């Protein structure tokens, strides 16, 4: 297949490109840094610097839309919130315009979202049937999904990737946690009761490939492992995997002071269950956190 990927240079994109190239697909990656595409994604991957370069006579068989400014990195000022929205929603709207204009439409669009779609859910298990929450992250995900769904009007199959915490040693939240945890400074966040819906990067990529290839799959998908854990359990399990103590606690009030509204990403959570992928008989390689972490840390 000829596949266009936005955000292909990112944590998920790099792993995905490797898997897709291994299956013989031809890849084009949209990137603001075209020089980085060959290094991050593979020597044979073409770079596209702007969607304006996508002319209507150029066709892709599939589009995978992962681009987005990192959500946790900077204070959520009004300006930053707009950047977070534009890098996802405005970019997706532009992508939809390109698909609408293309003489030959892609068969499928896999488009980003996150488990933050559901808002703070306490201990309740959350399947794809659940509605959106009502905080900034939930609004962002709902509008991001809405902008992608428009291409269904052009006969394109759409899968929405409600992504949990993707575990990889080479970046993301786990990548950042490794140094303090290895130094014995592993820290529980707040009361530790908030749920963390995680997924091993290998399962994430395998699920993406299933959504790409299986024409029966459409709509929202919880891209998470079947056994989410609380933050207290995550902290304990990561410390055990590294054979280090994790005795510290970051009080919720301190995190709220230091991070403002963003602290909700760390102090609140959702117990998300991958109902549709499980019903479709997807077999998780890493259903349990301890095994997932041991695998990642042994690489
Ligand atoms: N990793 C997770 O645990 C997780 C969890 C939930 C949701 N997600 C979502 O899944 C997507 C992929 O995640 P990831 O971890 O691979 O993200 P990542 O490593 O931060 O990479 C995101 C990519 O998006 C592109 N990008 C960033 N800002 C942009 C902007 N202003 N305009 C256009 N492109 C921009 C960048 O590509 P260039 O620099 O090459 O342009 C970057 O490589 C993201 O949208 C993220 O929000 C990830």
The Cα-based distances of 210 to 148, 199, 206, 275 in angstroms read: 19, 15, 6, 15
pLDDT at 179: 95
Task: Tell which residue, 62, 25, 32, has the closest CA to residue 50.
Answer: 32
Q: pLDDT digit string (tens) for 252-280?
A: 999 999 999 999 999 999 999 999 999 99
Q: What residues does ligand 1 touch, defined as CB less than 6 Å away?
A: 7, 9-13, 31-33, 66-71, 87, 91, 112, 114, 163, 165-166, 171-172
**69 CA to centre of ligand 1 in angstroms:** 6
**CATH of 2-166+199-224+274-284 among 3.60.20.10, 1.20.1250.20, 3.65.10.10, 3.40.50.720:** 3.40.50.720
pLDDT at 274: 98
Q: pLDDT digit string (tens) for 81-129?
A: 999 999 999 999 999 999 999 999 999 999 999 999 999 999 999 999 9
Residue nearest to atom 17 of ligand 1 (CA): 10
**143 CA to centre of ligand 1 in angstroms:** 17
Atom of ligand 1 nearest to the CA of 70: 20
Q: What is the mean pLDDT of each run of 10 residues along the chain (299 residues)?
A: 98 98 98 97 98 97 98 97 98 98 98 98 97 98 98 98 97 95 97 98 98 98 98 98 97 97 97 98 98 97
pLDDT at 166: 98
Whole-prediction pTM value?
0.98
Atom of ligand 1 nearest to the CA of 12: 16
Indicate the domain borders of the chain: 2-166+199-224+274-284
The answer to whether 293 and 143 are in contact (CB under 8 A) is no
pLDDT at 183: 97
The answer to whether 76 and 260 are in contact (CB under 8 A) is yes
- For 171-202, give one letter per residue: b (16+ CB within 10 A) or e: ebbbeebeeebeeeebbbbbebebbbbbbbbb
Three-class SS of 202-239: HHHHHHHHHHHHCCCCCEEEEECCCCCEEHHHHHHHHH
Tokens matching residue 64:
């995978």
């Amino acid at each position: 297949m000829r596949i266009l990927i936005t955000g292909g240079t990112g944590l998920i994109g790099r792993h995905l490109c490797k898997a897709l190239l291994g299956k013989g697909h031809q890849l084009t990656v949209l990137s603001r840094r075209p020089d980085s595409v060959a290094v991050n994604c593979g020597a044979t991957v073409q770079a596209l610097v702007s969607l304006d370069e996508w002319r209507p006579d150029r066709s892709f068989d599939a589009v995978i839309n992962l681009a987005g400014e990192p959500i946790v990195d900077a204070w959520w000022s009004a300006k930053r919130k707009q950047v977070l929205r534009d890098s996802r929603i405005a970019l997706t709207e532009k992508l939809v315009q390109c698909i609408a204009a293309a003489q030959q439409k892609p068969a499928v669009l896999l488009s980003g979202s996150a488990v933050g779609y559901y808002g703070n859910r306490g201990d309740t298990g959350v399947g794809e049937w659940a509605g959106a929450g009502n905080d900034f992250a939930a609004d962002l995900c709902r509008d991001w999904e809405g902008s992608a769904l428009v291409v269904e009007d052009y006969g394109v199959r759409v899968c929405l990737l409600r992504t949990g915490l993707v575990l990889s040693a080479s970046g993301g939240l786990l990548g950042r946690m490794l140094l303090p945890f290895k130094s014995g400074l592993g820290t529980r966040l707040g009361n530790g009761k908030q749920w963390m819906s995680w997924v091993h990067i290998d399962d994430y990529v395998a699920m993406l490939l299933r959504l790409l290839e299986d024409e029966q799959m459409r709509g929202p998908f919880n891209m998470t492992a079947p056994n989410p854990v609380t933050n207290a359990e995550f902290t304990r399990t990561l410390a055990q995997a590294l054979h280090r103590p994790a005795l510290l606690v970051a009080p919720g009030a301190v995190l709220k002071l230091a991070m403002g509204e963003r602290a909700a990403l760390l102090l609140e959570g959702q117990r998300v269950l991958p109902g549709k992928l499980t019903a479709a008989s997807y077999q998780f390689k890493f259903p349990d956190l301890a095994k997932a972490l041991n695998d990642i840390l042994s690489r």
